Structure 1
């Protein structure tokens, strides 16, 4: 099939004559294609050059994955390339299935997300070169707004006084929290965590990975449970943390994510 961006030679040579199949999962502006080479399954991910200064950057994600190798179970990066049109990465498919497949079992989903949080926050950040702090993400949001690159499915009606991207951005600057820094996935949800038959976890879509506040991933896990499983499971996640809920931080990170 034809891709929106012309493929650099290294990428095209790796794919060879194998058929690319569009992967519809995910809401980012990146394009993702699956293909089989020999007996192995791979994914090609591309982003247009306009996204290279953001966490949608495919090369940024490749660097995060390479740094995490040996620290977390993440996809192996096979090939990366860049052209004036954009960025390109081929990764090897991880085993298992998205934990989303177990959403009919609230206890299992809760346990899997708790374990995902534990593993992510256990990654040492002493030498982590990736800054995903609130200030960096706000700078990124300013870039997206200025270039009219915000998400198409924005829902600001849930915050009646923040009915424009500019108002939401100003509010986020005014409510930016003090951060307790850990390694963060940055987009933790039940489609970005896989589990294999031995209950081993694998993490994908780590473009926003880096040092951030520990409540960022907690907020996303809580939202995932609240919206896709049950309110009780979401409450149980918070109760199991062994510390008071920081609802203001959870709201901040949900609001920050709305325009992405």
Structure 2
């Protein structure tokens, strides 16, 4: 990172910088100084996340924005572990509850477009630029090329979208949960209006413990699911 001077001055010479943290995607550093702990992110994802943090704060708990300069974002450390560390039935239910609240936000209030046209244009550019790591594909997509995945996505595109305000990367690691009180959402750079199955597909991919799928869906309150859309959006996630 080559941070703006104002961001560096914020922490002082005695700050301790570390990349040892959980639940944060992209290039994110944790900074500790006498005033507390903070997270610093830089680049296009930081710019996107800044706008989304400011907007979502009206609706749900998110980290405080401490500073924003150029393309560098500083947020406060909430101080809670993510749901990756929670017991399976608890994390599944809490994820279902917070996702239900997010998806109930009126779509017309959200200024961020993450519909399928936007997502497909983005991943098409990533494939063309050779930015997709095929070695990181899920086991059932292993051996496919990025171009083959993109061809399938274009051929199997759903005819319609069930639009809600989505997180975009709804994993247990991106939900910070206090012992009591409301969870806090992080890594919001892909938040926007999209099909609800964007979030459901990623959550259910992660929640594989005994009874977790049932606990999650009971808390979320949606039955039945569209299994075809779940498979489609999980495939889409391979290119993001």
TM over 0.5: yes
Residue in structure 2 matched with residue 15 of structure 1 by the alignment: 11
Preserved CA contact (<8 Å) 1:95 1:195? no
Cα RMSD for the two superposed structures: 2.1
Point out the structure with the larger helix share.
2
Q: Distance in 1 between matches of 2:21 and 2:131?
A: 20
Segments of 5+ residues of structure 2 without an aligned counterpart are none
- How far 1:25 sits from its partner (Å)? 3.4
Residue in structure 1 matched with residue 111 of structure 2 by the alignment: 129
Pairing 1:61–2:59 present: no
- How far 1:38 sits from its partner (Å)? 3.0
Runs of 4+ in structure 1 off by over 6 angstroms are none
Q: What is the aligned counterpart of 1:234 among 206, 213, 216?
A: 213
- How far 1:107 sits from its partner (Å)? 2.0
Query: What pairs with 1:16-165 in structure 2 (closer than 5 Å)?
Result: 16-17=12-13, 18-25=15-22, 28=25, 30-47=26-43, 52=44, 57-82=45-70, 87-102=71-86, 105-151=87-133, 153-155=135-137, 158-159=140-141, 163-165=144-146
Q: What is the aligned counterpart of 1:225 among 184, 189, 207?
A: 207
Q: How many residues align?
A: 237
Pairing 1:192–2:188 present: no
Q: Distance in 1 between matches of 2:201 and 2:32?
A: 36
Residue in structure 1 matched with residue 147 of structure 2 by the alignment: 166
Segments of 5+ residues of structure 1 without an aligned counterpart are none
Q: Distance in 2 between matches of 1:196 and 1:247?
A: 32
- How far 1:114 sits from its partner (Å)? 1.1
TM-score normalised according to structure 1 size: 0.83
Change (3 A) 1:100 1:134: same
Q: 3-state SS of the aligned residue for 1:44?
A: strand
TM-score normalised according to structure 2 size: 0.90
- How far 1:251 sits from its partner (Å)? 0.5
1:184-211, Cα deviation, whole Å (9 max, x unpaired): 0110011100111213210000111011
Which shows bigger deviation, 90-99 or 245-254? Answer: 90-99
